[in-house]
Amino acid sequence: MLANKTALVTGSTSGIGLGIAKALARQGANIVLNGFGDAEGPQAEIAALGAQVAYHGADMSKPGEIAEMMRFAAERFGQVDILVNNAGIQHVARIEDFPVEKWDAIMAINLSSAFHATRLAVPAMRKANWGRIINVASVHGLVGSAEKSAYVAAKHGVIGLTKVTALENADSGVTCNAICPGWVLTPLVQQQVDAKAAALGLSNEEAKKLLLGEKEPSMQFTTPEELGELAIFFCSPAGQNVRGVAWNMDGGWVAQ
């Protein structure tokens, strides 16, 4: 379905981003990966699906490097047709104890990077009259949780940015929507599981059940594969008039 399209997925060397990148690759898209850590393994996984793949290690807190990444993608594959703004970091602390530098970093990577990538992607998408911008927000873009002030604020901002981007491009074939996962067992969430297990003297499995039980009625983690399938829907003809939505996959978290 996505043959001859190019998808750039930020924060895609693991977790949700890699899951979405693989789903897009299975549909024939060229993939540009981005992120820290091991890049060769994820590139090999994408290539094994028969897709063309490239990697750019832009630091998503730096607008200049984001611009360079967008140029790289355009030079490598022509243009970015599908932009998935997924890069994100987390820090947990009460507001009065929250390190200012952590707040600034979370805002830069979780929110501002989506703005910078979007502003650079939109002109070519509008010229082609086709584009898909998918922002990976969070259930925390819809509801709050204590000790996550920066993350919650940034993710609420991502949903606001999604709505404005959708409205500004509603006269074209360019759509913008947000995916709002609940708990996904990414390395970021596994750190929270490990911390809970250590603090309460629980096994890892017990800590997982406690984490899910606090928020997610289904008692199931959402998977990167499921999120990838939702991204495919947004890119499909059926998603042509889905614009500006914040679609939660959260096991009933927000329904409570």
Active site residues: 151
Strand partners, 85: 135
The 3-state secondary structure of the chain reads CCCCCEEEECCCCCHHHHHHHHHHHHCCCEEEECCCCCCHHHHHHHHCCCCCEEECCCCCCCHHHHHHHHHHHHHHHCCCCEEEECCCCCCCECHHHCCHHHHHHHHHHHHHHHHHHHHHHHHHHHHHCCEEEEEECCHHHCCCCCCEHHHHHHHHHHHHHHHHHHHHCCCCCEEEEEEEECCECCHHHHHHHHHHHHHHCCCHHHHHHHHHHHHCCCCCCECHHHHHHHHHHHHCHHHCCCCCCEEEECCCCCCC
